[in-house]
Every structure is written in structure tokens, then in C-alpha cells.
Structure 1
Amino acid sequence: MEVFMGIKMSDVGQLCPDVLKAYLKNYSLKLSASEIAKEVKIERRTVSRILNKLVIFNLINYSIQGKNKLFYFDLKKMSTFSLLNLVEINNSINFNFKNKEVSVIISKLLDFFEGIIVFGSYASSKEKDGSDLDIVLLGEKNNHILEDIKKISLIEINEHFVNYKEFKEILKRKNPLAIEISKNHVLFGNFSAIIKIFLEDKLNG
């Protein structure tokens, strides 16, 4: 994406989505440039430059805590919602490049499900040979389609069917699995609907 909210991404830094990936495990985090650099494995000076430009463009905020400058999102702003969409989409694209077999499975499933959330070992890049693919399938339950895909898949699929309302409720009830998914995920399909659920959960505490 070359232009975001009327701002040229080249003016902010093409690594912006990669830098902000550090916030995907918790949209309400307050992080220093050093913490983000360590998390995303990008040079601290580059991270700091991008964050400060985002502040100038009023896309993120910061507070001072001791000697540290902590950067964070204003979760009530529309620009935050839009920026998180960009970051989550970038995360899914990078995931597809690294996981070709899984991307084929996801592509087939997206023909029948509105949204998909990958979590577990694949989402955290800790999968091994024989690891299951843990996924949440959002939308109308369709066992027949899933079974057909399982028959041709070389990866064992561990699925959870849920609609958006149900997912919102189990997250609100602090269900351990839902909390794990909110902290460690890769989104596909209806990004906006899933991000909105994560945002509302953080805003409501």
C-alpha cells in the first residue's frame, strides 16, 4: 500500500507494518522503541524513526515513563482501526509467503467461510514436522467442505467453528482459548470484523 490515510508510506517507512506487528498480540500495549526492535528484529534506530514519524502524522501516541518513551494506539480513533487492518493484512501476506502449504488450505477454505484465524504453533512460527494447523472458522458451519479439504491436505487440521457473535462473547468471558487466539493469531478473510472484536474487547477491559 503506497498511500495510507492520505500519507505516503515512503514518508513513514516501508517497514512500518513490520514494526507495528509488535502490537498484534495486544492492541493496547505501550512499548518502547527498544522493546519493539527486539520483538520484530529490526534495528532500533529504524524503529524509532518510523514511530516518531507516525506520531507526527497523528497515527500513534506516546507517553513518557521515566527515561522511556512509550508508544501506543488510541483505540478509539478510526485511524487506529485502519492502521491495524494494514498491519494484520501485512502479517497474513508474510505468513502466506512462509507457509505455502497452509496458504493453499486457507485459500480453499475462504471460498466457504467469511473469516479464518490461524493460531497455535503456525501463528507463532514454532511449528514442526507433524504440527497440527489450529484454525477458527468464522461463519456458517460447513462440515462437508472441511472434510473434503482434510482428505487432500498433508497437514492435520484442528478446527473450531464459531460465528462472530459467539467469538465476541467467549472473548468477553475471558475464555482461555479465546485469549490465546487474541494474543497469537494470523487473520484471513473479513479482517475488519475480527479486528473490531479485538478492539472492542480491549476498550471494554
Structure 2
Amino acid sequence: MSKAPTLSDRLSKARSGSAPEVTDRARRGLMAYVGAQADVARAGKELADGTAATGVGRVALSAMSPQGLACAEGCAFCCILSGDDGGTITEAEAVALHRALAALAGQPDGRAWHPKACPSLDPETRSCRAYDARPMICRAYVSTDVEACKAVSDGQAASGPGTLGPYHTYLAAIGLSRAALKGVKRVSTYAMARVAAAAVDGASLEGALASARHKPTELDAELKRSKRDLSRI
């Protein structure tokens, strides 16, 4: 009788939909993450809720020291969001974000500064009130030009702002996790802005997750956007 495939077996055969070199980095990171877990059930849970993918992305980000960045506290043009999605985040990130903002329910939020601003912002200081719980999309988005950020926030194309490589590795890791756990556990992604809005509007965690959960096709679309962006570098 053949043995059931292990998580490592599943990851080794999974495909992410991202660029091959990015997929390889994500796979190595996830394999190392799973290999370091003594509890197989916990490893599977952390693949499913995105804890593993987020960890892979953060480790890669911590190894970087980008130079010439114009980012500073209170410069929040990057937090003016197009649409109501705000970016793809994992379940673990969504839970952490909701917990960080739930105590602020009923208080003025970033939308009092700008109608399209992230609800996580303090409308007076324009600083992030969930900074320690901010998702990878926020951690990896940087800029070398404040004026370019202003232009982008107005819907104009400008060079300067962009996402660092570890964000793409993180997305690939989510894609690999979903493929490896197909038929075993659901791997969901969420709309960052909708989670934040639900939290400051007083919604429960369960309600926030239900209202912000993506359809599976949204991760596919985000991976395609990532692959397209990487092809331009």
C-alpha cells in the first residue's frame, strides 16, 4: 500500500502560477518552514491560514536594505487606495489586522482625511494605527519619490513607487499553499481594505472575514498581475 503524500511531497509538486524563479524561492521557503515544524497538523494549518506564506515573505524582506527611500511616518499617499479591495492578504494577516483595529471601532479613521484612504490610518497624523499588524502588501510597498506617490494616488502613472521582490515571493507562497492543500484544506485570501473597514465599523471578526473573503479567482488574478509586473523589471 502506498503512503499518503506528506506536506513536503505536496509542496514539491505544487504550482503557484507565478514566475518560475519566484515559485522556486517560495517553495524553498515553505519547505524549510514545514520542515521546522514538529507538529504536522499545525504545519498544515499554518499553510492554510497563510502564516507560513507571510513568514516566508517577511524573512525575505528582512534580508533587504533598499536605499534612497522617501517613505516617512505621516506620508500616507500610498494608503489612498484604488477601489475597495486595498490588496490581497492572508487569513492570518486579516485576523491580526482586525484585532489591532477592533478597539478603535466608532472612532474617526483614515476616510475622514481622504474618502479612499485606508481605514487603518489616524486621520489627524496619517500614521498607521495597525503598524505592527500591517500585511505584507504594506510592508513591501515603498517609494523613492513622494511626488510620484501623490501622482499615483490621483490615478496618474508615475515611476518611484512599487512593491519589493519579497511581496511576489509571498504571493507565490500563497499559491503554492493553495495548490498543495487542494482537496484537504481551504486557503482563502481577503481584501485588506474591507477587513480594516469592517473592524473600525464595529463588525465582529467572523463578520469581517465573511465580508472581505475573496473568490478563489482573485488570487489567480493577483498572481497574474505579479508575473506581469516582474516581466517588466
> TM-score normalised to the size of structure 2?
0.22
Structure number having the greater strand percentage: 1
- Give the number of the structure with larger relative contact order, counting CA–CA contacts within 8 Å between residues 6 or more apart: 2
